[in-house]
Each structure stands twice: as structure tokens, then as C-alpha cells.
């Protein structure tokens, strides 16, 4: 086993159904690995251009996503559900604002990194398995409590303008890196975009690892 685990960057937004499905594919790939694979989550904001000050979503903003787009998205979600054997309570969540969840998750990643993965899983499950509103601070507080995180701190992080500003800086950095959609998986400078199958993630990570090893010979 290598001394330093492989690390995969994952750009994702909780309200993206393909991010949830991509996580399922990633979990299936990780189960096949003999060595651990660390996940470095990087936040991405799909709602930035449609978010009202109160957190509601302004559907009058023209972002190029019409009824035809959403119907096609639903069909793709259903296809991937079958492919990855995943059950979901809903196919899209256009009314949910993920910013509070991302603020809470980002805070946990910085302050309680050992508990971040469990919290991340809980947020996805709440939205896509249980149909709960992850934009609701009470829902996020309950999820934090479920995984043993300090509820008061999570509530504070959700309301903290400093955390929000830090997240917005991360969103800008992602765009400058050329991240235009999620999920995006990055390993050693190589990227795979979308809810790609486990075999493609294997090629991304293990193929790059083999190329690196060969270059050092």
C-alpha cells in the first residue's frame, strides 16, 4: 500500500442529481480498489445566477434550461438510476437552494474533517432519498446532530457571512479552473465530467497512476 493515498478532487453541488449519481458510481469504484482513495470535495454553485436574496429560486432568469432540458435531464437520471441500481425520491430539485448546505459542509470540512464524509453523505441522502429541503437550517442542524457534529456551530456556519464569502471565492476559483458543470472529477490534472461509470473513474485514476509510475522508471 502506498504511503500517501491517492486523492481525487470532486467538484459538486448537492442539488445536482448527477452529482448524487456520480457519488454512487464513485462508491462502487472505491469498493473495487485495494488501496484507499481520498476525496477532496470542492464546492460548486449551480444556483448563483438564479438565487433571490431570501434564498428562493428565480425561475424567470434565462439560463438556457427550458422544459425540454429538464425532461431530458429526468430521462438521463432514470437511465443512470437503473445503471447504478440507485433509488431516488425525486429526479430533479429545482426549488431547493444548496448554499446553506454547502456553507455547513465547507465549515465541517475545515473544522471536523474526520466527520465530513458522513455529513456529506447525510446531506445527499436527505435530499435525494428522503426529499427533504437541504436549504433549511433546521434540516441541516438535524443532520449534523445525527452524525455527531455540534449543532450550534453548524447553525452559526450557515449564517456566517465570512463562510459565505469564502465559498464564493471557491466558486470563482472553480470557474477560473474551467469548471463549467458538475460533477467534475479531477486526478493529476486529468478530468472526467458527469456521472461517469465506475470503469471510467478507474481509467482516470488508475490509468494516470500507472502513467506516473512508468514515467519514474
Q: What is the pLDDT of residue 210?
A: 57
Task: Residues 6-215: name the CATH superfamily.
Answer: Glutaredoxin (3.40.30.10)
pLDDT digits (tens, 9 = 90+) for 51-96: 888 888 887 887 778 889 999 999 999 999 999 999 999 999 999 9
Confidence of residue 3 (pLDDT cuts 50, 70, 90): low
pLDDT digits (tens, 9 = 90+) for 147-183: 999 999 999 999 999 999 999 999 999 999 999 999 9
Arithmetic mean of pLDDT over the chain: 92
CA distance 72 to 78: 10
Q: What is the pLDDT of residue 211?
A: 53
Check pLDDT > 80 for residue 215.
Answer: no
Q: 212 exposed, middle or buried (CB, 10 Å; 0-12, 13-18, 19+)?
A: exposed
pLDDT digits (tens, 9 = 90+) for 93-124: 999 999 999 999 999 999 999 999 999 999 99
* Domain ranges for the chain: 6-215
Q: What is the pLDDT of residue 216?
A: 44
Whether the Cβ atoms of residue 185 and residue 151 lie closer than 8 Å to each other: no
Instruction: Indicate the pTM of the whole model.
Output: 0.91
C-alpha cell of residue 9: 478532487
Sign of the C-alpha dihedral, residues 69, 74, 75, 76? positive
Amino acid at each position: 500500500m502506498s504511503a500517501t493515498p491517492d486523492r481525487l478532487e470532486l467538484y459538486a453541488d448537492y442539488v445536482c442529481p448527477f452529482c448524487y449519481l456520480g457519488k454512487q458510481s464513485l462508491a462502487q469504484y472505491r469498493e473495487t480498489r485495494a488501496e484507499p482513495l481520498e476525496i477532496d470535495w470542492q464546492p460548486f454553485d449551480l444556483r448563483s445566477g438564479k438565487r433571490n436574496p431570501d434564498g428562493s429560486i428565480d425561475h424567470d432568469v434565462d439560463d438556457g434550461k427550458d422544459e425540454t432540458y429538464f425532461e431530458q435531464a429526468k430521462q438521463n437520471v432514470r437511465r443512470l438510476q437503473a445503471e447504478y441500481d440507485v433509488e431516488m425520491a425525486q429526479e430533479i430539485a429545482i426549488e431547493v437552494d444548496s448554499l446553506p448546505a454547502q456553507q455547513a459542509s465547507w465549515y465541517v470540512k475545515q473544522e471536523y474533517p474526520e466527520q465530513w464524509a458522513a455529513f456529506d453523505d447525510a446531506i445527499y441522502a436527505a435530499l435525494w432519498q428522503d426529499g427533504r429541503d437541504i436549504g433549511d437550517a433546521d434540516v441541516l442542524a438535524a443532520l449534523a446532530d445525527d452524525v455527531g457534529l455540534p449543532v450550534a456551530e453548524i447553525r452559526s456556519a450557515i449564517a456566517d457571512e465570512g463562510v459565505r464569502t469564502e465559498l464564493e471565492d471557491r466558486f470563482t476559483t472553480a470557474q477560473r479552473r474551467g469548471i463549467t458543470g458538475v460533477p467534475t472529477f479531477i486526478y493529476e490534472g486529468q478530468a472526467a465530467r458527469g456521472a461517469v461509470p465506475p470503469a471510467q473513474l478507474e481509467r482516470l485514476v488508475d490509468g494516470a497512476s500507472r502513467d506516473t509510475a512508468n514515467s519514474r522508471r
